[in-house]
Amino acid sequence: MKYALIKNNIVEQISYPFVEGWEEVEDNVFAGMIKKEDGTFYNTYEVKQQIENNQQELTNRENKKASGKQKLKDLGLDDAEIKALIGV
């Protein structure tokens, strides 16, 4: 569990250690989310965009890693040599 500082129904900050006066929230709650009257949380456009950007960044990184590995194979390196060089 984690704890959130909520002001005007907006999650301002998140903390994993207990903080006096902060509300206990589920692990899927992040700063920038809005608390609804029923106690659930939803993402603002900005939070959704940040999540999408992070996911795209991870995808791009994995694609670059695979592309680089294939280029090393094309140069004649085997899997053991590639792993020794870059750890994958």
Beta-strand pair 41-42/10-15: unpaired
What is the tens place of the pLDDT at every residue in 6-54? 999 999 999 999 999 999 999 999 998 999 999 999 888 877 888 889 8
Helix, strand, coil tally for the chain in percent (to 5): 45, 20, 35
What is the tens place of the pLDDT at every residue in 50-74? 888 989 999 999 999 999 999 999 9
Q: Is the pLDDT of residue 86 over 90?
A: no
